[in-house]
A and B are shown apart, each in its own frame.
Chain A
Amino acid sequence: MAALPPLLEADVQQIDAALRELLTQAEATTALVMDQGGFLITHQGDDQQFDLTTIAALASGAFMANQSIANLVQETTFSSTYQQGDQHSLFVCTVDEQCFLLVIFQAQNSVGAVKYFAAAASDCIAAQLQQARERDPVASVDLAALNLADSESFFRRKR
């Protein structure tokens, strides 16, 4: 599996800007970028009424399951999926081979507009990720401060 490229804070700012523009143009509620492993990379919009961590994990799994179905019907990929609800609907599309874009929007809004503006946002995010891939890796994050002396301290059982 291809790895997510090293991203700088500036990369995330650019991606967030693309997401904000998407939310405005499509009148959507929340937009998030996630990877194939189910990690939430970044998001914009309403994060109070939704559990975005869990949504990213489930949507990633569901989207990847759809890619397997695509292969079974001799398609290379299903580049997007749309799930219609009564209150909110979801639109998911590929950004690149590693990442997806998920948009949550009011069900009464047009999915056509979301699709249209998501495509532009997706291109913008993909370009930023590509730029990150082409950049030389810079100094890594210093994790030396992590205290590993006592493994019991990571997760403790309630007494």
Chain B
Amino acid sequence: MAIINQATKELQVKIVYYGTAMGGKTTNLVQVHEHVQTAAGNKGKLVSLATNSDRTLFFDFLPIEAMAIKGFKTKFQLYTVPGQIIYNTTRQLVLRGVDGLVFVADSQYDKMAENVESFQNLQDNLKSLKMDLDDIPYVLQYNKRDLPNVAPVEYMEFLLNNREVQVPAFAAAASRCEGVFETLNMITRMLLHKFINQSVPQYA
């Protein structure tokens, strides 16, 4: 859960990118790392715990500081989970203490079943941690829109964004950095709104 440090006026927030294997979660972090505009020293190293074939083994981690927001230093910790099914225990570990989620869906038609399965897996893993998706700000990203044979956005909305409350969704081509910052800025905005509306945030 987020930490608000009263002494140093710092807000620390954890955002996890979730989704199918090879869906573009790591690519999102790589693009943020390469292209984000920050003051000197406000962007940490992108740490990837990957297999020798570049598949995420444990998680990717990018600490990053947003532009100063009226006296508060806002530090974001961006994580990805491993998409491969065999690493489900690892996904549960990474979800601990999550504040906000980006679900990265692969837009290719033949990935629709995997998207739905991964979205259900996200809800199951949150339940195992006694958390509920209804209580956590999240956004959807329909990635790989630059590839042929993609499903219409409306169809993906029907599959993934048909819960009681619809959430913001973004078409993206993360490999071209399209939609990456729009997604990150929206989840950031939703998170900060949530903190403001909470009666007693955690702070130090």
Contact = CB atoms under 8 A, between A and B. Distances in A.
| A and B associate in one complex | yes
A37 B1 contact: yes
A11 interface: yes
A140 B203 contact: yes
Identify which of A6, A40, A154 gathers the most chain B CB atoms within 10 Å of its CB.
Answer: A154
Interface residues of B, number: 60
Interface size range of chain A in the complex: 35 or more
A85 interface: no
B130 A157 contact: no
B70 A51 contact: no
A68 interface: yes
A148 B3 contact: no
B166 interface: no
Interface string B97-109: 1100000000000
A53 B63 contact: yes
B196 A37 contact: no
A158 B32 CA distance: 10
Interface in B109-142: 129-131
B37 A39 contact: no
Contacts of A40: 12
Interface in A36-79: 36-42, 51, 53-54, 57-58, 61, 64-65, 68
A154 B72 contact: no
A158 B63 contact: no
Contact of A61 (B93, B177, B186): B93
Contacts of B45: 51, 54
Contacts of A58: 47, 49, 61
B175 interface: no
Contacts of A141: 4, 6, 201, 203
A154 B3 CA distance: 18
Interface string A5-39: 11111011000000000000000000000011111
Given A57-B63, A140-B199, A8 B93 contact: no
Interface in B143-185: 177, 181, 184-185
Interface in A132-159: 137, 140-141, 143-148, 151-158
A154 B35 contact: no
Contacts of B77: 38-39, 53, 57
Given A51-B44, A156-B37, A12 B7 contact: yes
Q: Which 5 A-B pairs have the closest CB atoms?
A: A37-B97, A151-B189, A7-B204, A156-B37, A145-B70
5 contacts: A8-B204, A12-B5, A38-B14, A38-B96, A155-B64
